[in-house]
Amino acid sequence: MARGGLRADPLAVGDLESHKQPQRVSASTLRGFHILSEGIFPNGRIKATSTQNITHLTDTKINFDTIVKDSPGDESGGDADGAMADLTNERLIARHAGWYIAAGLLPWNQGSGGDMRQARLRLNGTTFIASGHAPVMGSGAFDANPTCFAWVTYQFDRDDYIELLGLHNNVSALATELVVDGPWLALTWVGL
């Protein structure tokens, strides 16, 4: 094994004289190793350029309209299968299986009620895998533009996707804000 626990030749299938059948390597795995050998590491980042009203006590998916980074989509000659950003559905897609860091930043309007502001990362439209909370200040109120940051290191299967949702308990609808270059959602591949 090479350093880091990876085989020196990731396509090696073992001793062919053994009684075991050689393992087949899928086309997506080969493509994944191909882009990695070229120094292209999958990562995507999308952001919102307008505010959004979030209903009281309702998990609401954040609307994104701008691609900040989309690799390998940037480097694969417009190959749609390589693109991670899906602005139509406001999500990032893991195009290769492996470990990723998923992160989302959600700045809120201060609001005048409630004691909870959250950013939540949801996997494949069903499972929450991380959340971040804005701190309540000593007086029981929020600082101006409380900002939530949620992140996780998680093992994704090919074509898993991640979304950013907002949740709050202000007494009425509450708007997101455009500060700290957010809201944004990012997905970065870190290993097999």
Domains in the chain: boundaries: 41-191
Do 41 and 154 meet the contact criterion of CB atoms below 8 Å apart?
no
Structure confidence at residue 100 as a pLDDT band (50, 70, 90): very high
Query: Both tokens of residue 10?
Result: 């990731």
Do 186 and 102 meet the contact criterion of CB atoms below 8 Å apart?
yes
Query: Both tokens of residue 69?
Result: 């980074």
Summarize pLDDT for 129-159 with one digit per residue, the tens: 999 998 766 555 666 778 899 999 999 999 9
Short-list 161, 170, 175, CA closest to 86:
161
Domain 41-191: CATH class, spelled out: mainly beta
- Quote the CA–CA distance of 144 and 160 in Å, as a whole number: 35
- Quote the CA–CA distance of 138 and 104 in Å, as a whole number: 25
Mean pLDDT on 75-89: 71
Query: Is the pTM for the entire model greater than 0.75?
Result: yes
Label each residue of the chain as H, E or C: CCHHHCCCCCCCCCCCCCCCCCCCCCHHHHHHHHHHHCCCCCEEEEECCCCCEECCCCCEECCCCEEEEEECCCCCCCCHHHCCEECCCCEEECCCCEEEEEEEEEEECCCCCCCCEEEEEEECCCEEEEEEECCECCCCCECCCCEEEEEEEEEECCCCEEEEEEEECCCCCEEECCCCCCCEEEEEEEEC
Summarize pLDDT for 29-63 with one digit per residue, the tens: 545 556 566 666 789 999 999 999 999 999 999 99
